[in-house]
A = this chain, B = another copy of it.
Amino acid sequence: MIKLSEISTIPPEGLKKDDVKKEFEDLRERIADLQTVMAAEGKYSLLVVFQGMDSSGKDGVSRKVFKECSPVTLSVRAFKKPSDEEFAHDFLWRVHKYVPQKGHIQLFNRSHYEDILIQRVHNWIDEDLVDARIKAINAFEDLLWKDNKTVILKFFLYLSKDEQERELKQRISEPEKNYKHRDGDWEERRHWDRYMFCYEEAINRCNVHPWTIVPADDEWYRNYVVAKKIVETLEALDMKMPLLDKSKIDIGIPIDDL
């Protein structure tokens, strides 16, 4: 059982920032190499879910960790307030459309987890529906792996309440961050403890695929933790570049001396 109150939002003591940043550069090059093999082999896909409070860095981590990747087989989907049509469907309907095809990497900025987070925090749904949704999430994530070899990595970007306050204030005080300000972020902040409870529940009860709790107060460490987990996970798949069977090539000319 994970207790968020026992987990730090800052990097472990003694880590050298410069060393970590250097290793991070290598890790993200490696992610791009692994992306190339994944796309060429077309056997697996990767779904990366980023969850976290406002300003925890969901956009930033997407940009930094996947910097060396090709956009050709990498997509990001941000799940914002559902449209009327989305609300008129089950909660997985809008999410299912965006799961990655074989060979592709898909990032979710927020996800189906919002439906047991913001909705539960505000009691817009009752606990019976929470239970049903948790079951549905587990079945859904299990299906993606078993039926289509989609690897799922879920990251909770764990920010402290104080750090969030600094970040949200900067959005008001620094003109180049003004566009990120939303009054509503300050309202959600008032429900901090309830959010942490609901996150803990989501993390502990939806564990068919692993969550990684990412200390998110410092951007450099946050990015590193995410990149490292992705590299370790993709390397364990033992993917291989497919080779041509030359006896099967049929291009109308001899290929002997290519």
A: which residues have CB within 8 A of B?
40-41, 59, 62-63, 66-67, 69-72, 74-76, 78, 107, 109, 169, 172-173, 175-176, 178-179, 181, 183, 186-187, 190, 241-244, 246, 249-253, 255, 258
Contacts and interface: CB of A to CB of B under 8 A. Distances in A.
Q: Tell me whether chain A's interface is mostly helix, strand or loop, or mixed.
A: mixed
A122 to B, nearest CB: 16
A48 to B, nearest CB: 11
Contacts of A249: 172, 181, 183
Given A172-B258, A179-B242, 11 more contacts: A62-B72, A66-B71, A71-B74, A72-B78, A72-B109, A172-B244, A175-B241, A175-B243, A181-B244, A181-B249, A183-B250
Nearest to A253: B186
Contact of A178 (B67, B173, B241): B241
